[in-house]
């Protein structure tokens, strides 16, 4: 009694279970499965879902009375794709977490790999990101930095093509245009220098020389 009960993905419970939950919330009592003794309960309920409960109510898939019983204070957390500034923090947290579990001592992630993580739309939100990092750490040799080659294949072929559109502004010098073209092309291919050189139509040695000339990391 007096505690907090968190129910994740409340939208996935059956209508019959919804009815039982509503009874507990309204009468503040329940009986164990197969039992006859009634127990009093006093808890604060927090429920979460990634679906639109109002739409499920309209479809008859979620009880309207339970919806209004739960909808006292609502916090809407934007999907991960709308707060990508949080991704580096999550990645760092997950790497440290899986380092402790695996003993791999992964020391970080390259900018190229992080750039691809930031470009991905993450339909599975934080769970998908966590699973992604867990897989990368699990398959990686110990004592190294995660890079583009460690990413799942579907992240490497996201959008089914590489966006190599170069964004320029009026009045730029040829040197500025060349620097922007190199920077944006490198970013678009996850800093794969071989692929960037092919897209730019220059040799790999020339690309290295241009990077040094324009101080492009």
Q: Is residue 167 part of a domain?
A: no
SS3 content of the chain, % helix, strand, coil (to 5): 55, 10, 35
pLDDT of amino acid 163: 53
pLDDT of amino acid 94: 96
Where residue 202 sits, what CATH number does that domain have? 1.10.10.60
Tokens of residue 192, six digits: 């794969």
Tokens of residue 103, six digits: 């003993």
Q: Is residue 35 part of a domain?
A: yes
Task: Report the chain (217 residues): mean pLDDT per 10 consecutive residues.
Answer: 85 92 86 78 86 91 93 86 90 94 92 87 88 94 91 72 57 81 80 81 86 84
Domains in the chain: how many in total? 3
Give the range of the structural domain holding residue 202, as residue numbers without chain letter: 174-214
Domain's final residue, options 49, 71, 93:
71
pLDDT of amino acid 134: 95
Taking the C-alpha atoms of residue 4 and residue 23, their distance in angstroms, rounded to an integer, is 17
Is residue 151 located within the same domain as residue 100? yes
Where residue 134 sits, what CATH number does that domain have? 1.10.8.60
Of 8, 1, 62, 6, residue with least CA distance to 29: 1
Is residue 45 located within the same domain as residue 84? no
pLDDT of amino acid 165: 55
Domain's final residue, options 71, 105, 125:
71
């Amino acid at each position: 009694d007096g505690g907090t009960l968190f129910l994740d993905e409340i939208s996935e419970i059956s209508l019959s279970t919804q009815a039982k939950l509503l009874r507990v919330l309204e009468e503040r009592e329940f009986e164990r499965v197969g039992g006859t003794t009634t127990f009093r309960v006093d808890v604060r309920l927090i429920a979460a879902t990634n679906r639109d409960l109002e739409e499920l109510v309209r479809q008859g898939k979620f009880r309207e009375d339970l919806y209004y019983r739960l909808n006292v204070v609502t916090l809407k957390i934007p999907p991960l794709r709308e707060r990508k500034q949080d991704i580096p923090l999550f990645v760092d947290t997950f790497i440290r977490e899986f380092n402790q579990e695996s003993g791999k001592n992964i020391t970080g992630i390259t900018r190229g790999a992080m750039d691809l993580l930031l470009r991905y739309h993450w339909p599975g939100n934080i769970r998908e990101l966590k699973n992604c990092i867990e897989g990368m750490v699990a398959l990686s040799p110990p004592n190294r930095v995660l890079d583009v080659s460690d990413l799942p294949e579907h992240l490497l072929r996201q959008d089914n093509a590489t966006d190599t559109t170069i964004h320029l502004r009026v009045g730029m010098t040829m040197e500025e245009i060349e620097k922007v073209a190199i920077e944006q092309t490198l970013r678009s291919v996850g800093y794969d220098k071989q692929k960037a050189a092919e897209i730019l139509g220059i040799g790999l040695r020339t690309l290295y020389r241009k990077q040094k000339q324009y101080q492009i990391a």
